[in-house]
Amino acid sequence: MSPARLLLFLLPFLSFFLLRPASAVLCHPEDKEVLLRIKSSLNNPYLLASWNPNVDCCTWYCLKCHYKTHRVISLFFLKSNLPGQIPSAIGDLTYLQSLTLHKLSNFTGPIPESFTKLKYLNFLTLSWLNLTGPIPSFLGQLKNLTYLNLSFNKLTGSIPDSLSTIPGLGYIGLDRNQLTEKIPASLANLKGNSLYLILSHNNLSGELPATFTGVNFGKLDLSRNRLQGDASLVFGRNKTTFYIDISRNQFEFDLSKVDFNGSLQTLDMNHNKIYGSIPTAMESLQFLNVSYNRLCGPIPVGGKLQSFDYTVYFHNRCLCGAPLASCK
């Protein structure tokens, strides 16, 4: 068979395979239009070079379509030089469930109000950007949110009460910002099974809300703020919290009276004004640091308490016993 005849013979088969992709564009035209608007509002950055209008948008980088509906459900811009502001057009990707903007150099400005249109949004991370302004209280309208991570920005103002109206919110990460004022008592409404509340490296002040007595945190990190008063209320015999860091604040309470549950693994309270003595229940801890407080009395013998480095105990009023000097 001559090559020409062979080609003629194969043509029907070839065309079947060649034409198939063209007839199977999955991308929803509304999503495609919004994505192209996002791209142009960012001045067609290199990160979005794959966003070619002649190609099915469900194959573009930095996004995912739903396997059945083919609507865009996930958008992620990671580690790139992407100067500009968060495009408000993102709010028109109505079916979005997950949005991650992380480590985009020179990305600044506020969180756009158009995000309130994202009724299906489950997972929101805007981290390591240079976002400024307050945490907008309209985020409370995202009723389907379970995970909120706004860490490493320059957000200011107080933590909005409205977050406590998101029924399934289980992870709140607002660490490394410039947040001020008290932690809202209403956050205790997020009682779920084990709330992750990460507020470290801010400028929060005042006392902890009394309502926290009733909250079973999974992980609680309040370190490096200006919080004061009684933090004993975050502990409790029936709480299954595994991680508590309240270090570098001005908390002042009697540690002897604190009740623990064996589930607590990590407890860091260094640099506060905590007094009293170390309770024997601390034997179950895998990591402890109570240095730079006002504790006194013998370190209980048991668990890992003697195998920790002496620096986890030093700079207290009169703690004694291994690994510190023996009690007189």
Ligand X SMILES: *[C@@H]1O[C@H](CO)[C@@H](O)[C@H](O)[C@H]1NC(C)=O
Assess 116 for contact with ligand X (CB under 6 A): no
Q: 306 phi and psi, to 5 degrees?
A: -90, -20
Considering only 32, 71, 149, 220, the residue that binds ligand X (CB under 6 A) is: 149
Q: What is the DSSP letter of 4?
A: H
Comparing CB distances to ligand X, the nearer of 15 and 311 is: 311
Comparing CB distances to ligand X, the nearer of 8 and 317 is: 317
Spell out the residues 6+ positions from residue 31 whose beta carbon is closer than 8 angstroms to its own.
57, 65, 71, 72, 93, 95
Assess 316 for contact with ligand X (CB under 6 A): no
Assess 113 for contact with ligand X (CB under 6 A): no
Q: 106 phi and psi, to 5 degrees?
A: 70, 20
Comparing CB distances to ligand X, the nearer of 136 and 236 is: 236
Assess 123 for contact with ligand X (CB under 6 A): no
Considering only 230, 262, 302, 306, the residue that binds ligand X (CB under 6 A) is: 262
Number of residues this chain uses to bind ligand X (CB under 6 A): 34
Assess 200 for contact with ligand X (CB under 6 A): no
Beta-sheet pairing, 72-85 with 63-65: antiparallel
Q: Which residue is nearest to ligand X (CB)?
A: 127
Q: What is the DSSP letter of 280?
A: G
| Site mask for ligand X (CB under 6 A), range 216-245, x = bound | --------------------xxx-x-----
Considering only 225, 272, 291, 316, the residue that binds ligand X (CB under 6 A) is: 291
Instruction: Transcribe 185-254 into DSSP letters.
Output: GGGGG--SSSEEEE--SSEEEEEPPGGGGG--EEEEE--SSEEEE--GGG--TT----EEE--SSEE--B
Assess 299 for contact with ligand X (CB under 6 A): no
Considering only 164, 223, 232, 289, the residue that binds ligand X (CB under 6 A) is: 289
Cα-based angle 141, 142, 143 (whole degrees, multiple of 5):
90
For tokens 């070839």, the residue is 14
> What are the CB-based long-range contacts (under 8 Å, 24+) for 8-12?
none
Beta-sheet pairing, 250-251 with 178-181: unpaired
Residue 64 amino acid letter:
K
Assess 203 for contact with ligand X (CB under 6 A): yes
Considering only 79, 119, 257, 317, the residue that binds ligand X (CB under 6 A) is: 119
Mark the segment that binds ligand X (CB under 6 A) among 6-14, 28-36, 44-52, 146-154: 146-154
Judge contact between 243 and 263, C-beta under 8 A.
no
Closest separation in Å from C-beta 262 to ligand X:
5
Comparing CB distances to ligand X, the nearer of 10 and 265 is: 265
Q: Helices marked H in the chain — which ranges?
A: 3-23, 29-41
Assess 128 for contact with ligand X (CB under 6 A): yes
Closest separation in Å from C-beta 25 to ligand X:
26
Q: 165 phi and psi, to 5 degrees?
A: -100, 10
What is the footprint of ligand X within residues 82-111 (CB under 6 A)?
83, 97, 102, 105-106
Assess 270 for contact with ligand X (CB under 6 A): yes
- Which residues contact ligand X (rule: CB under 6 A)? 81, 83, 97, 102, 105-106, 119-120, 122, 127-130, 144, 149, 151-152, 173, 178, 203, 236-238, 240, 261-263, 270, 289, 291-292, 309, 311-312
